[in-house]
């Protein structure tokens, strides 16, 4: 992942482009409030104006071709360039796109496999929609929300231009940051964004890689323990103790967890997921024989899991271990911080029980730990410099 624009070059609040959906058969949007001008990008001619309450769509009718569909089903002539949807009055108006109500502008791009829906808006407005989903606001100490605002802003700034090939900067989901749009933003979350406006985390003159996660389970992960990338001096493993024999994130329901799998479940998971992380023989993964953590971090996170089957031995590393256990209903393991206990019979593993702690990849700021630290009286600057060692806070634009 690139380092984003030079910090010194960010003198004003930038626009950010959020990928709401990729490769869809059509883009549907409704004017939740205000009137919206629909036009072809870089062209002055208005295709149509969407009034409040109307639902419109843009479809990919042929490769490289878009058509606007009005509420009655009428199709516009073909358009080769992206379709823009902007408020007639820039000071007001919002669109409903799927489950989100979004401000700013909408842009629909056409690709080989369908349309991509992009929400373009000022960064600070985007951050309010991130805090509302990533941490909420009700009941959280203001300093924890302020820490989250700075981390989310830094994460977004570092990714400006990083996905230009897709037509946007960040995904609007867990692949980057969960963005809920402009509806139902708690006042405390909006206040945290406003209070920290323009403030980001820097290491030297570079924006930090501001990873964060829900619950560390007592100790965070160094970046190389979760992802296949070189170590970073500010993303090291740190203890999250509260100084009284406990942990700041112990209030999380996922501070400690337990997961058990019978043999049939394990074989199903291996058959479903192992091919994503290892090269399998043409005969497939085969029958499960054993699984074993063969490498762990000093803090107890699994770094490598060996899976032995009737067709060979395979290894899954770091955060990918979590997704090996995804079954379509569950996203996978809560974390890689676990102990594995097995029951074997007739030379095969019959049951595996994982006793673990935490939720997420474990790198950077622990959100539940930040809440605990704020409740104990820590300021947001103190929270951030605990999790991002050696980083400093700097206001990059007014």
User: What pLDDT is attached to residue 267?
Assistant: 95
User: What pLDDT is attached to residue 138?
Assistant: 61
DSSP state of 383: H
CA distance 123 to 193: 10
User: What pLDDT is attached to residue 187?
Assistant: 93
Task: Give strand ranges (E) for 155-301.
Answer: 170-171, 199-203, 206-207, 212-213, 257-262, 288-296
Q: For residue range 322-337, list pLDDT tens digits in order.
A: 999 999 877 899 999 9
- Quote the pTM value: 0.94
CA distance 235 to 226: 11
Q: For residue range 150-184, list pLDDT tens digits in order.
A: 999 999 999 999 999 999 999 999 999 999 999 88
Structure-token match 């009737």, residue found: 310
C-alpha distance from residue 95 to each of 30, 90, 124, 187, 200 (Å): 6, 13, 18, 21, 29
CA distance 119 to 220: 33
CB 76 within 8 A of CB 59: no
Name the β-bridge partners of 302.
Answer: 296
CA distance 367 to 239: 14
User: What pLDDT is attached to residue 194?
Assistant: 98
User: What pLDDT is attached to residue 330?
Assistant: 77
C-alpha distance from residue 29 to each of 32, 90, 174, 240, 319 (Å): 9, 18, 22, 44, 36
CB 100 within 8 A of CB 20: yes
CB 244 within 8 A of CB 339: no
Environment class of residue 207 by beta-carbon count within 10 Å: exposed (0-12), middle (13-18) or buried (19+)?
buried
CA distance 299 to 339: 12
Spans of the chain below 50 pLDDT = none
Nearby residues of 149 by Cβ (< 8 Å), 6 or more positions away: 127, 131, 189, 192, 193, 195, 196, 199
Each residue of 229-238: b (16+ CB within 10 Å) or e? eeebebbbbb
């Amino acid at each position: 992942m690139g380092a984003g624009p030079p910090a010194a070059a960010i003198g004003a609040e930038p626009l950010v482009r959020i990928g709401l959906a990729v490769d869809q058969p059509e883009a549907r949007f409704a004017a939740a409030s205000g009137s919206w001008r629909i036009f072809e990008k870089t062209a002055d001619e208005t295709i149509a104006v969407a009034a409040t309450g109307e639902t419109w769509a843009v479809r990919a009718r042929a490769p490289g071709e878009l058509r606007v569909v009005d509420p009655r089903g009428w199709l516009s002539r073909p358009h080769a360039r992206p379709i823009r949807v902007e408020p007639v009055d820039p000071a007001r108006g919002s669109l409903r796109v799927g489950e989100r109500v979004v401000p700013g502008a909408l842009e629909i791009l056409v690709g080989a496999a369908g349309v991509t829906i992009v929400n373009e808006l000022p960064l600070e407005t985007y951050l309010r929609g991130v805090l509302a989903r990533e941490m909420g606001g009700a009941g959280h100490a203001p300093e924890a929300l302020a820490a989250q605002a700075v981390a989310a802003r830094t994460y977004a700034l570092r990714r400006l231009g990083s996905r230009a090939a897709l037509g946007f900067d960040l995904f609007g989901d867990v692949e980057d940051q969960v963005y809920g749009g402009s509806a139902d933003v708690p006042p405390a979350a909006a206040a945290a964004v406003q209070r920290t406006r323009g403030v980001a985390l820097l290491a030297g003159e570079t924006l930090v890689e501001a990873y964060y996660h829900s619950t560390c389970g007592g100790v965070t992960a160094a970046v190389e323990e979760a992802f296949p990338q070189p170590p970073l001096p500010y993303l090291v493993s740190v203890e999250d103790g509260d100084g009284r024999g406990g942990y700041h994130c112990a209030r999380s329901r996922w501070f400690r967890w337990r997961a058990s799998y019978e043999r049939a479940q394990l074989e199903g998971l291996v058959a479903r997921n192992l091919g994503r992380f290892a090269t399998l023989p043409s005969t497939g993964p085969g029958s499960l024989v054993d699984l074993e953590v063969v490498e762990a971090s000093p803090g107890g996170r699994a770094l490598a899991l060996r899976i032995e089957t009737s067709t060979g031995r395979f290894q899954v590393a770091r955060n990918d271990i979590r997704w090996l256990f995804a079954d379509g209903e569950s996203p996978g393991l809560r974390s890689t911080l676990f102990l594995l206990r097995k029951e074997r019979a007739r030379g095969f593993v019959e049951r595996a029980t994982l006793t673990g702690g935490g939720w997420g990849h474990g790198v950077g700021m622990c959100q539940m730990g930040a809440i605990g630290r704020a409740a104990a009286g820590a300021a947001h600057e103190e929270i951030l410099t605990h999790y991002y060692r050696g980083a400093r806070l700097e206001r990059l634009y007014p």
